[in-house]
């Protein structure tokens, strides 16, 4: 069994900030603040729109991201896949290195802006 970090809040903050950095690099993607019913403290208050759940018994986290997409020539799944790839890249970065501690990244589109 892997050693579980005792600094859960720091881990959640690192993950949330990595996600925010990935979103900032994506054109046409904005984080959207949402409230989850029944959750006591599942997210980093520093990054609205990013909910980091966990850790489980093995110290792993799951991440929910709520975004607004501005779409024109790109399909929604295409943009979501690019965003997910950027997030994993940020989680692998030196200094963060939390990719092995995150089991999933789910992207929820709260609002859609279509450019015609």
Residue 107 CB coordination number (10 Å) = 20
Question: Average of pLDDT values for 88-109?
Answer: 89
pTM of the model: 0.82
Q: Judge whether residue 67 has pLDDT over 90.
A: yes
d(CA 49, CA 51): 7
What is the model's pLDDT at position 97?
A: 82
What is the model's pLDDT at position 35?
A: 66
For 9-34, write each residue's pLDDT tens digit.
Answer: 888 889 999 999 999 999 889 999 87
Share of the chain above pLDDT 90, in %: 39
* 3.40.50.300, 3.30.470.20, 3.30.465.10, 3.30.70.1350: CATH of 8-114: 3.30.70.1350
- Helix ranges (H only) for the chain are 8-25, 76-92
What is the model's pLDDT at position 36?
A: 59
Query: 3-state class of 67 per DSSP?
Result: strand
């Amino acid at each position: 069994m892997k050693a579980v970090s005792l600094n859960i809040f720091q881990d959640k903050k690192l993950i949330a900030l990595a996600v925010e950095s990935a979103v900032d690099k994506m054109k046409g993607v904005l984080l959207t603040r949402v409230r989850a019913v029944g959750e006591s403290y599942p997210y980093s208050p520093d990054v609205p729109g990013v909910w980091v759940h966990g850790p489980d018994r093995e110290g792993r986290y799951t991440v929910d991201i709520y975004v607004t997409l501005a779409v024109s020539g790109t399909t929604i799944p295409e943009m979501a896949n690019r965003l997910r790839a950027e997030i994993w890249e940020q989680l692998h970065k030196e200094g963060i290195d939390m990719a092995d501690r995150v089991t999933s990244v789910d992207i929820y589109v709260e609002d859609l802006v279509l450019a015609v």
